[in-house]
Amino acid sequence: MGVAKALWDRRRRQPVDLSSAKTVLLMRNEGAVGDVVVDSALVKCLHQSGYIVDFLLTTSNSQVMRYNPRIRHIYEADPVTSADFLRKFNHNVPRDVINELANNKYDIIIDPSLFDIPVHRLRLFRQIKAKSVLGFNKWPSIKHYSHSFDFDCQRWHVTKTFELIADYLQLDTRGLDAYDLVVPGPIMQEVAQYLASLSGKAVVINIFAGHADRSLSQTQLAELLDKLLARHPGSAVILLDHRREIRIPLPPEVVINPFNTLHHAMALIAQAELIISPDTSVVHMAAAWNKPLIAVYKDVLLNNRLWAPGYDNARQIIVKCGKVHQHRGLVDRIIAALPETL
C-alpha cells in the first residue's frame, strides 16, 4: 500500500463541498450481490435528497440495480472474485469506463467497503479524477478519502453505514430503514401467475451460499423437504438453483425455479410465504419485502452481526462449530423455527 500511496494518492485532502455537490458515484466493483441489495436504501436516500446518482458495479452484480429509476447510469467493471479484488495489483474497470467516469467529474464518490483497501483503489481514484471521497475505516494517511467514518464491524449492522453517510451529507432520511429493490411489473405478474398455478402456500428454499462451507448439503435438503412437508402439508416449495446443481429426487410438491433471471428470483422471494437461505444476498432480498425468513449463518462474528437479517420477521440460526453442511442437527433447528402457519 505504501507504493500505491506514493504513486497515486493525493498530495492534499479535498474537503466535501456540500453547498455545491450534485453528483455522486457509488462504487461496488468488487462484485458481491448482497452489498448492492443493501446499498439500494442509500441510492433511494441520495435520490430523494436531490443528488444525481451513478453506480459502478460489475457485470455479475449490476443486474440488482438494472431497473432502478433512481440511478442515472450504471457502469460495469469486469467480473472478479472477492479474493482477486483484494489481492491483485490492477483493478477490473475497463479503460472506456474509466474515461467516462473521469469526464463526469463527480462531486462526491462513496466507497462503502468496510475492510481492506486494495492497492488498485488509489490508482482508480487517480484515473477517474476523484475530488471528494467518503469511505469507512480507511487509513488517515490516505488523502484521497475526504472523510473516513469509524465503523465498528463487530457491533454494528451494515445498515448503519448509510445512517452515517446520510447524517454527514444531511440527506432526507425518509425510507432509509428499508431496502429499495425494483422488479418490473410484468415480471411480478408473470411470477404471480406461476405461483397461482401451484397448489399451496409458496416456500422458497435456497441451500447455496457464496462459500461451500456456508451451504447446506443435498442430504440436508432432502431431510428438510421431508420434515417441512410433514409439518406443513400441501405447501408448494420452489428451490433456487440457477446453476442446476441439485441432483436429489424431489417430491411432487417441490420444483426447481423455472425462471432464469435474478429479477424473477426476486419476484419469487417477494411473493413467497417463507424464505429459507444461508446466503446473505437472498436474506437481504427477503428483508426488502419484510418476508418471513429463516437464515442460516456460520458462527463468524463479523458476518453474524454485521450481515444479520436485521428485521423482526426473520429468524437467524447460527451454526456454532464447523461447516454448515456438516451440522447434523441443523434441519431440526430449521423446523423448530418454522412459523405455526404459512
Give me the DSSP letters along 186-211. HHHHHHHHHHHTSSS-EEEE----SS
Q: Based on the fold, state whether residues 256 and 223 are members of the same structural domain.
A: yes
Contacts of 261 (CB under 8 A, 6+ apart): 63, 187
**SS3 of residue 133 by DSSP:** strand
In a domain, 178, yes or no: no
In a domain, 93, yes or no: yes
Q: Based on the fold, state whether residues 220 and 154 are members of the same structural domain.
A: no
Contacts of 144 (CB under 8 A, 6+ apart): 8, 9, 10, 122, 125, 126, 130, 133
Give per-10-residue mean pLDDT for the chain (342 aa).
58 85 97 96 96 97 98 96 77 96 98 87 93 93 91 95 96 90 98 96 97 96 98 97 96 97 98 98 98 96 91 96 91 96 82
Domain that holds residue 78: 2-169
In a domain, 111, yes or no: yes
Place of cell 469511505: 135
In a domain, 175, yes or no: no
CA 71, 116, 145: angle at the middle one, nearest 5? Answer: 60
Q: Based on the fold, state whether residues 138 and 241 are members of the same structural domain.
A: no
Residue 191 has a pLDDT of 99
As for how many domains the chain has, the answer is 2
Whether the CB-CB separation of 144 and 132 falls below 8 Å is answered with no
Q: How many residues does the chain have?
A: 342
In a domain, 212, yes or no: yes
Specify which residues 255 forms β-bridges with: 238
Domain boundary among 134, 169, 204: 169
| Helix, strand, coil abundance in the chain, percent, nearest 5 | 35, 15, 50
Whether the CB-CB separation of 100 and 75 falls below 8 Å is answered with yes
- In the numeric block, which cell numbers belong to residue 128? 477517474
Residue 1 has a pLDDT of 54
Residue 117 has a pLDDT of 83
Q: List Cβ<8 Å contacts ≥24 apart for 68-75.
A: 68/40, 68/43, 68/180, 68/182, 69/182, 70/43, 70/44, 70/46, 70/180, 71/43, 71/47, 75/100, 75/101
Say which CATH number the domain at 254 has.
Answer: 3.40.50.2000
Whether the CB-CB separation of 111 and 161 falls below 8 Å is answered with no
**SS3 of residue 248 by DSSP:** coil
Distances from the Cα of 36 to the Cαs of 78, 137, 199, 300, 337, in angstroms?
16, 19, 34, 21, 28
Q: Based on the fold, state whether residues 50 and 150 are members of the same structural domain.
A: yes
Q: Based on the fold, state whether residues 165 and 200 are members of the same structural domain.
A: no
In a domain, 53, yes or no: yes
Residue 143 has a pLDDT of 84
**Helix intervals (H) in the chain:** 2-8, 33-48, 82-87, 95-104, 120-127, 160-169, 185-196, 218-231, 262-271, 280-288, 301-304, 330-336
In a domain, 309, yes or no: yes
Q: Based on the fold, state whether residues 121 and 46 are members of the same structural domain.
A: yes
- Written as one letter, the residue type at 238 is I
pTM of the model: 0.94
